Amino acid sequence: MSLHQNTNRASAPPQASVRCRFTRESSLLDFNKIGGLKSHLKVLREIIIFPLLHGNVFTHFNIKAPRGVLFYGLPGTGKSLVAAALANEINREGVGKVAFFHRKGADILDKWVGGSEKNLMDLFEKAIKSKPSIIFFDELDGLAPARDKQVDQIHSSVVATLLALMDGLDNKPGVIVIGATNRLEAIDPALRRSGRFDKELYFPLPGVDARRDILKVHMASWKHKPSPKLISFLAGATSGFSGADLQALCSKAIVRCMKRVYPCLQGMKVDPEKLKVNDCDFREARLEIVPSTQRSSTTPMRNLTPTIKPLLEGQLKRIIKSIQDLWPHFLQENHKYIVGEERYAGRILLLGSNTQGVCNHLVPALLQQLEYLPSFVYDVTNIFKKNTFLNIVQNPCVILLSRVDEWWDIISDCDQLSIVSTLEDIHADQPILVVATCERDVPTTLRSVFYNNSSILLKIENPKREEREAFFEPLFFGRNIVSLVRVLENTRKENRVLKGHKGDENASAVVSHKEKKRRGGSPSLTRKRPRLSSHNGPKPVRSTSCDSLHNGQKEIELDERQYELGPESCESYTCSIAYKKIPYFTTAMSSLLSQKNAKKESGSQSELSLKKLLINGQLSYEDGDTMTIDKNDSQMQRIRSLWKHASLQTSRGMEVSDLELLYDVISACINIHWKSFDILLKNLEGILTDIEFSNSIEDQTLA
């Protein structure tokens, strides 16, 4: 048997089956059933549909119409979906029946020598005979990788054949070639010139408006459509979701609805007319889905969490405001860049440590704001990959050098020179935003890149007084279950129930005896220590009760104003490095756990934690299950005094990471001592006092 016969027998059947399968699945798909990609669909109309409809115009002017389009972007963003809908959209325009050929690398590659090239030539020959036609290469990087020493001769021959076939389409109008890939840098550069793939379309993660449109498309055929308010809520709560993730969200919500309406699905016939997907179904489905971009992509991209938002929202707005003032085009999703005629390039240098929330909070939130631009992150985890930094230059994009001062000295001089030369070659006419983060200053070799160009230098500061107050406010006055106000309401409700029982004095005596025993048996974190003055700051106000905290409130506020306005304030970046993380947070957590175990051994009713009761469904609060508490109430004044003390005095000079630890300690204390309001305040005061004492010792050590 000859080699030519082997190749024909192995290649012909798979092509026909692939074409038929894809045609049946996409027979009813058009542009009206695609959401969130209006600009992409408009571009495809201009560069593909218009030349097919009005080919005589290009012939009259003796101009070659576009022959190829390259789709690139993250997985699940709609590249294959748009390509499948393109053929049906062209049919609707009246061009005629358009043949659609869908191929992947496995459909083209053959085990016989020369078989892959023969499959490619047969494919283009069929497309030319069936024109107008569209050839769609999915996962193009697997079929035509970049030709270098690491690629074998077989792939190099396939790439050369594909280049020759695409060049041959110049004399055969009516054939469009579309490629899709997740790794644009892995494709051979020869394919990315005009005349082959004339246009490159980036498919970003959908924004809020795009996610809303995608959800509306998926829910368009539902009999009981969710309310517009619910759709807007879902669009805002699905940050980082791709189009495929949103489709999976709707699918899981339907499954949750089926289980809710029909608890026993086995052997039952489900009536779709009775199913109405509610808010609770979407919320439960949201908890089950992890976005594919967070599982596979190394690019950090997420919004500020509701807990950390009060601390860093002002810093993020300052960064975005700086970009808006100097380079507003980066904040416009559909901006048309004219490369070579206008100045676009920008550089941002963020000075701040990771304990200030730069790399784990601010940078991901900034990339989330620029989610429609391709992002290339380089840190110690991927900087050692070969040729990663040389293939990132594309227009437009965002380049992030994360913690550059930490890994710069450990790479070779050759790699340093390569990175510097690549950044210096980025001309101002290229729309590329370069962002670098470092703790103190950029390395000497990189200073010419940032300091001798149009750059923004931003120093990340520690949270200010108002930001710390807003950060701790939910723990003291929040309507959630873990807050001091809720504990106060729960204590007063129990007291009202006990007082309502008539003739049960013995039971009251037993409860009172247990309460006294519980108060006396719980160890306090407050210990008598000598008062030590702090260096470079106001003296810590020590107290032994919440009443004394309330009495010393004016002194705290006066010291806070003088301290924050002073030249050596620890709110500034210059003094933030003087505060070192203290190991007391771990000690406080261990002490709280020991208290919980002591209560459990003594048989106390407070052995169950608050969060455990919530998880088990043994405790819940509804919106109407609240008590009206006067703000001038003495116990509310104690809560306010403790909140002010934690926000102004205890957390003064702390960085974001330490504030998060303090937040967790206070939350754990509320979670463990939620049965008694007085014991909770006593333990909280002891925790705050010990932290201030540890800070004063640390200040004296640094002095």
Each residue's pLDDT tens digit, 218-229: 998 888 889 999
Say whether pLDDT at 12 is over 80: no
Residue 486 buriedness (CB in 10 A; 0-12 / 13-18 / 19+): buried
Closest CA to 10 of 100, 103, 106: 106
Cβ atoms of residues 46 and 93 within 8 Å = no
Cβ atoms of residues 157 and 120 within 8 Å = no
Residue 315 buriedness (CB in 10 A; 0-12 / 13-18 / 19+): buried
Cα within 13 Å of Cα(264), Cβ side: 2
Q: What is the pLDDT at residue 363?
A: 92
- At residue 698 the predicted structure's pLDDT band, cuts being 50, 70 and 90, is low
- Sheet of 397-401: strand order equals 375-378, 397-401, 432-438, 346-351, 455-459
Estimate the share of the chain in helix, then strand, then coil, as percent rounded to the nearest 5: 55, 10, 35
Cβ atoms of residues 367 and 299 within 8 Å = yes
Cβ atoms of residues 17 and 101 within 8 Å = no
Query: Which residues, 6 or more positions from 416, have their beta carbon under 8 angstroms from its beta carbon?
Result: 408, 445
- At residue 249 the predicted structure's pLDDT band, cuts being 50, 70 and 90, is very high
Task: Tell me the residue type at 118.
Answer: K
DSSP state of 187: B
Cβ atoms of residues 169 and 135 within 8 Å = no
H or E segment at 116?
Answer: helix 115-129
Q: What is the pLDDT at residue 526?
A: 38
- Residues 19 and 490: their CA atoms lie apart, in Å, by 66
- Output the six-digit token pair for 678: 């007085």
CB atoms within 10 A of CB 657: 16
- Output the six-digit token pair for 657: 């990471």
Q: What is the pLDDT at residue 609?
A: 56
Q: What is the pLDDT at residue 186?
A: 81
267-272 contacts at long range (C-beta below 8 A, 24 or more positions apart): 272/223
Question: What is the SS3 assignment for 67?
Answer: coil
For tokens 């495929």, name the residue.
244
What average pLDDT does this structure show over 619-630? 50
What average pLDDT does this structure show over 378-383? 77
What average pLDDT does this structure show over 233-258? 89
For tokens 């969490």, name the residue.
305
Say whether pLDDT at 317 is over 90: yes
- Residues 153 and 144: their CA atoms lie apart, in Å, by 12
- What is the percentage of the chain residues whose pLDDT exceeds 90? 13
- Residues 356 and 658: their CA atoms lie apart, in Å, by 9
Say whether pLDDT at 426 is over 60: yes
Mean pLDDT over the full length of the chain:
75
Q: What is the pLDDT at residue 548?
A: 40
- At residue 596 the predicted structure's pLDDT band, cuts being 50, 70 and 90, is low
Q: What is the pLDDT at residue 26?
A: 47
- Residues 538 and 290: their CA atoms lie apart, in Å, by 46
Q: What is the pLDDT at residue 597?
A: 60
Query: Which residues, 6 or more positions from 549, have their beta carbon under 8 angstroms from its beta carbon?
Result: 541, 543, 638, 641, 642, 644, 645, 685
Q: Which residues face 376 on adjacent strands?
A: 399
Pick the range with the lowest mean pLDDT from 41-45, 375-379, 384-388, 680-684.
384-388
Residue of higher predicted confidence among 613 and 188? 188
Question: What is the SS3 assignment for 351?
Answer: strand
